[in-house]
Amino acid sequence: MRAKDALGRYGEDVAAAHLARQGIVVLERNWRCAAGEIDILGRDGDVLVVCEVKTRRGDGYGTPLEAVTARKAARLRRLAARWLAERGVHPSEVRFDVVGVRQPGRGAAVVEHVRGVL
């Protein structure tokens, strides 16, 4: 596994654990279709949570949260609509969250969870 892929997998594991501690039930991870991928789908009460995870070792390329561009947000909205259509699910609300994970050279990962950003 490439180092970048391993870092991404690590970040998604950290994010999923963080979301679970926040009371969000993780429904699915790494859902894919021809148009792209949703990192984590979860349920927070009656709300469907579509979560993008960005992991970085440092801020040389910007913070993890800065990596979610308007283009990426638009693609996530399209992917969420496709997931809902395929599953036949009609939640009362859909929320888009971003979890940024920073893995410093030493110590525990630093998690930043922003709700309802997209």
- Enumerate domains of the chain plus CATH numbers: 3-114 (3.40.1350.10)
pLDDT for the residue numbered 1:
63
Per-residue confidence (pLDDT) for residue 106, from 0 to 100: 83
Q: Determine contact, residues 65/55, Cβ cutoff 8 Å.
A: no
**Phi/psi at 90 (5° precision):** -130, 75
Residue 61 CA to residue 78 CA, distance in Å, equals 26
Q: What is the pLDDT of residues 42-78, one digit of tens each?
A: 999 999 999 999 998 877 777 778 888 889 999 999 9
Q: What is the mean pLDDT of the chain?
A: 91
| pTM summary value | 0.91
Whether residue 7 is predicted with pLDDT greater than 90 in this model: the reply is no
CA distance 97 to 111: 13
